[in-house]
Structure 1
Amino acid sequence: MQKETETQDRIWLIGGTGESAKLATALLQIGLPLVISVTTESARSLYPISPLLQVWVERFNLSQINQFLTEQNIIAVLDASHPYAVEISQNAIAACSQKDIPYLRFERARCGDGEMGRWGDGEVGGRLIYLDSFNQLVAGEYLVGERVLFTVGYKVLPLFKDWHERSTLFARVLPATTSIEAALAAGFTQDKLFAMRPPIPINLERELWRHWQISMVVTKASGAPGGENIKRQLAAELGVTLVIIEPPIMNYPQVTSDLEEAIAFCQQHLGNQNV
């Protein structure tokens, strides 16, 4: 881990999502110094260039987090990581507890029972199915005979390798060598892959579903920033079954979805010294 000689107190913003980029911009506008951690080089481009901002690309374990908190003079942690990136959140919570450092989880707003509502109670044959895990989807009979589009990233695709014989599977992945190679290794042929970085315009999403004659879409409960609202809208419009995999249950010590509350948390713990 690289050393940092700067001794200024900072906020650690655990990033990598669109929400973290908005938070970073808002916090920099009021002069708060930040260290942002991401797991890929491409995620650097989410954030503005500022003398108050340092971006780290690293996958931290618990020991590294403890070292990082000390070396970077972290006095508060704002966790805006992806809702499925539970390991970094668990380790950050543990480290903050050990060092008595304030922690706040920033959760993206969920697509709830609003205008589109829940179509039924999650039974197979309805248009909306909520499941607790990908393993539940693999073990069940939900996919039998369906033309299924996976919009869940590449890491879980190997779970469905044996399902190619019982259904027709397609996947949308990031336009990266790692993603495409993993999808191919999981049995998704080139004609059943679409590589594009979100957000996906609704018209393109609609045409992709129609072109592949999709009958079922599998997605994560990612909220509006992750395109869940668009998928819900199209599923209702096209009569497609939408399978939503719920995020792992996490017991965060403190959670908010309010931008102003997150900013106030950071201001409070930096003592408004730079405002």
Structure 2
Amino acid sequence: MHVLILGGTTEARRLAELLHGTPGLRATSSLAGRVASPRLPPGEVRVGGFGGPGGLAQWLREHAVDALIDATHPFAGTISFHAAQAAAAVHVPLLALRRPGWVPVEGDRWHEAGSLEAAARLLPGLGRRIFLTTGRTGLAAFADLTDPWFLVRSVDAPEPPHPPRMQTLLDRGPFTLDGERELLRGHRIDVVVTKDSGGAATAPKLTAAREAGVPVIVVRRPPVPEGVPVVPEPEEAARWLHERLDLHTFRLPD
């Protein structure tokens, strides 16, 4: 049996680890190739796009894929819809693995935005020193804001267009609460902008912002394609595979 994991996330790597070495199962992880030095999962790995839903459908056929798991980042919306179209075209079962989104708690000063552009429109009324943690590929939405100063954190260096007053911090999570507290203090941050990525690796910034009374603009994640089942944990995705592919030899670790 062959399963294709559309990956690049912590959850995708964990799923590949759970499946690696299972008798009768071949797992291939596909990475988009946008990060220069990604953390590779165990097993077979391919890097690069498929050329749209048609290209993905062709790949599924040529490599005799029996199940497809979309474990991409919650904001990688395009590939999720391509996966749904390709899976339907070749009649391959599809599952979405999505970590749960963040939930505000007492003391949070959250402002929700439907897009990066909407987040940029909210900024002038909230602050002037911005901690921007939305990744390097969405900076064009903030490029016209000439007054605020931005601290941009990303894994790889961003390319133009981007805000004119900007400092780049190259770093990769997980991040600590003490480190996020010091970052907000040291750079005198008065607004945080983030995508609702969910998970624990980058959540400490939300706690640090709450403690400091700093407002946070949270960009809502795009929806999963209609009709695609969703699970929040890699273990549940592994159980789904076990049931769909009838892997009698597959066992989750204790």
Tell me, yes or no, if the aligned pair for 2:129 and 2:150 is still in contact at 8 Å.
Answer: yes
Is 1:254 matched with 2:229? yes
Residues in 1 aligned to 2:37 and 2:28: alpha-carbon distance in whole angstroms: 14
Residues in 1 aligned to 2:89 and 2:45: alpha-carbon distance in whole angstroms: 24
Q: Against the structure 1 CA distance between its residues 189 and 90, is the aligned structure 2 distance closer, same or farther, given a 3 Å change threshold?
A: same
Tell me, yes or no, if the aligned pair for 1:62 and 1:95 is still in contact at 8 Å.
Answer: yes
Which residue in 1 is equivalent to 2:140?
Answer: 158
Residues in 2 aligned to 1:221 and 1:145: alpha-carbon distance in whole angstroms: 20
Q: Against the structure 1 CA distance between its residues 19 and 198, is the aligned structure 2 distance closer, same or farther, given a 3 Å change threshold?
A: same
- Structure ranking higher in helix proportion: 1
Residues in 2 aligned to 1:235 and 1:223: alpha-carbon distance in whole angstroms: 16
Q: Which sits farther off after the overlay, 261-270 or 79-88?
A: 261-270
Which residue in 2 is equivalent to 1:16?
Answer: 8
TM-aligned CA deviation for residue 29 of structure 1: 5.0
SS in structure 1 at match of 2:143: helix
CA deviations on 1:32-60 (whole Å, 9 max, x unpaired) are: 31011001275653312xxxx21010112
TM-score, normalized by length of structure 2?
0.88
Residues in 2 aligned to 1:55 and 1:274: alpha-carbon distance in whole angstroms: 23
CA deviations on 1:89-138 (whole Å, 9 max, x unpaired) are: 1011011111111111011022225xxx1547xxxxxx211111112122
Which residue in 2 is equivalent to 1:133?
Answer: 115
CA deviations on 1:52-90 (whole Å, 9 max, x unpaired) are: x21010112112101110111111111110011111110
Which residue in 2 is equivalent to 1:187?
Answer: 163
Q: Which sits farther off after the overlay, 98-107 or 192-201?
A: 192-201
Q: Please tell me the root mean square deviation across aligned C-alpha atoms, in Å.
A: 2.2
Structure 1 vs Structure 2: percent identity of aligned residues?
Answer: 27
Is 1:232 matched with 2:206? yes
SS in structure 1 at match of 2:95: strand
Structure 1: unaligned runs, 5 residues or longer:
1-8, 121-126
Q: Which sits farther off after the overlay, 152-161 or 22-31?
A: 22-31
Is 1:58 matched with 2:48? yes
Which residue in 2 is equivalent to 1:39?
Answer: 32
Aligned residue among 170, 176, 190 for 1:201: 176
Residues in 2 aligned to 1:54 and 1:132: alpha-carbon distance in whole angstroms: 36
Structure 2: unaligned runs, 5 residues or longer:
none
TM-aligned CA deviation for residue 232 of structure 1: 1.7
Number of residues of Structure 1 aligned to a counterpart in Structure 2: 246
TM-aligned CA deviation for residue 236 of structure 1: 1.1
Residues in 1 aligned to 2:107 and 2:97: alpha-carbon distance in whole angstroms: 28
Q: Against the structure 1 CA distance between its residues 90 and 118, is the aligned structure 2 distance closer, same or farther, given a 3 Å change threshold?
A: farther
TM-aligned CA deviation for residue 230 of structure 1: 0.9
TM-aligned CA deviation for residue 259 of structure 1: 3.3
Aligned residue among 168, 185, 203 for 2:149: 168
